[in-house]
Amino acid sequence: MSETMKAYIEEAERDLLHTYNRYQIVLDRGEGVYLYDTDGKKYLDFCAGIAVFALGYGNREYNDALKAQIDKVIHTSNYYYNVPAIEAARKLKKISGMDRVFFTNSGAEAVEGALKAARKYAYLKDGRTDHEIIAMNHSFHGRTFGALSVTGNPKYREAFEPMIGHVKFADLNDFKSVTEQVTDRTCAIILETVQGEGGLVPADGEFLRQVRALCDERDILLILDEIQCGMGRTGYMYAWQKFGVKPDIMTTAKALGCGVPVGAFLMTEKTAAHSLSAGDHGTTYGGNPLACAAVEKVLDLFEKDHIIENVRQVAPYLEQRLEELKGKYDCITELRGAGLMRGLVFDRPVRDIIDRAMEKGLILINAGAEIIRFVPPLVITKEHVDEMIAVLDTCIGR
Ligand SMILES: *Cc1c(COP(=O)(O)O)cnc(C)c1O
């Protein structure tokens, strides 16, 4: 590492709040599926900014669209209409089959909005203010108070108690555990269609259908958090589309703007008509022209560049190569996930392996201490998979 990079890192450690144990590199620029640090060292990127940069770095059309929007107008507020938001909402409705969109600045904010909408929906029915939400153990929905309250990881919540309250937890793929938590005050069930941070665990189709039927029967809203598993990552625009289990409210973010901070929660018309109305919710930045120009272009490029088709081609190959690796090492106990959202479970912490991979020019991330997570840009090829496996294979050892 150069003295320059060392100095950057020292300054960062002095000035930034220490909320991350960061990997010791300063990233500088990107090109396709490769990143470069400030020393010019090249890395194959299987993190994509945590499942964000789906299109790869330096996409000419995407960059040009953002530059053009910067020269027009970046921000106007939600007191007025703007064309990029209108176009982005139309396209988002088309790919999701949902009816109404609220743009946010992040994933957590999309979850906050979804939870508020669910509470308001129930409030309009019975006027009560003690409605309950059922969430899943090992889930992750974000770091703000509402989102944290439905995050099924006590470690993230403990120091910040009390949470918003009236939240109960059940187990993903255990329908009985869900029914046991339902009361006459349950207003929503929230879950990730594929759990990300919690260990790359997909909800199974039968479980989703049962939860959907339960929600229909009891007029409970189903909120699917597609922030990580959405936007083509599983080979479907949204992971629930594989099962045809449509949510009442859906959250999306991460790859939605491919790096420009933007998220959204979407609803069916029925939910929208009976939940949030004027004055109930707002955001200064949310849905601003710059963010929405990014969304609009991302959605165009997904179609034009056949991103989903690429995921469907490359994902089985990634699965096969990871299976081979698992077969080779006793310390790898399980392969999880779906599409280009995969986890290799080890019987030991994986930080050392990830550090060694970084040394050798491969960026990987973990999900929990013992899982290596693979969430590459969605434009990767089989050759990139081979390149990744070849490096990783030399990092596992013992
Ligand atoms: C990342 C993530 C969030 C939080 O998104 P932020 O943009 O970090 O606030 C919420 N839900 C899921 C499933 C996520 O993966």
The per-residue pLDDT for range 36-88, each reduced to its tens digit, is: 999 999 999 999 999 999 999 999 999 999 999 999 999 999 999 999 999 99
For the chain, the helix, strand and coil percentages under 3-state DSSP, each to the nearest 5: 40, 20, 40
Domain ranges across the chain: 3-55+306-397, 62-304
Report whether residue 113 contacts ligand 1, using a CB cutoff of 6 Å.
Answer: no
User: Residue 339, Cβ neighbours under 10 Å: how many?
Assistant: 25
* d(C-alpha 307, C-alpha 54), whole Å: 9
Report whether residue 142 contacts ligand 1, using a CB cutoff of 6 Å.
Answer: yes
Report whether residue 253 contacts ligand 1, using a CB cutoff of 6 Å.
Answer: yes
Tell me which of 228, 238, 365 to substitute to probe ligand 1's pocket, judged by most ligand atoms within 8 Å of the beta carbon: 228
Q: How remote is the CA of residue 336 from the centroid of ligand 1, in Å? A: 19
- Output the pLDDT for position 133: 98
Phi, psi of 37 (to 5 degrees): -90, 180
Report whether residue 228 contacts ligand 1, using a CB cutoff of 6 Å.
Answer: yes
- What is the atom index within ligand 1 of the atom nearest the CA of 253? 7
Low-confidence ranges of the chain (pLDDT < 70): 398
pLDDT tens string 254-266: 999 999 999 999 9
The pTM of the full predicted model, rounded to 2 decimals, is: 0.97
Report whether residue 106 contacts ligand 1, using a CB cutoff of 6 Å.
Answer: yes
At 91, list the tokens.
Answer: 């396209």
3-class secondary structure, 27: strand
Q: How remote is the CA of residue 199 from the centroid of ligand 1, in Å? A: 14
- Output the pLDDT for position 3: 96
Residues 6+ apart with CB under 8 A from 208: 193, 240, 243, 245
Q: How remote is the CA of residue 243 from the centroid of ligand 1, in Å? A: 22
- Output the pLDDT for position 397: 80
Residues 6+ apart with CB under 8 A from 304: none
Residue among 344, 346, 309, 316 at smallest CA distance from 331: 346
Report whether residue 223 contacts ligand 1, using a CB cutoff of 6 Å.
Answer: no
Ligand 1 atom 10, closest CA: 141
At 304, list the tokens.
Answer: 């034009």
Is there a contact between 42 and 34 (Cβ–Cβ < 8 Å)?
Answer: yes
Domain 3-55+306-397 has CATH 3.90.1150.10: yes
Q: Where are the alpha helices (DSSP H) in 329-381?
A: 351-359
Tell me which of 139, 140, 192 to substitute to probe ligand 1's pocket, judged by most ligand atoms within 8 Å of the beta carbon: 140
* Cis previous bond, 162, omega within 30: yes
Beta strands in 67-219 (DSSP E): 100-104, 132-136, 167-170, 186-192, 194-195, 201-202
Q: How remote is the CA of residue 140 from the centroid of ligand 1, in Å? A: 7
* d(C-alpha 238, C-alpha 261), whole Å: 19
Q: Pick one of 1.20.120.420, 3.40.640.10, 3.40.190.10, 1.20.1440.230 as the CATH number of 62-304.
A: 3.40.640.10
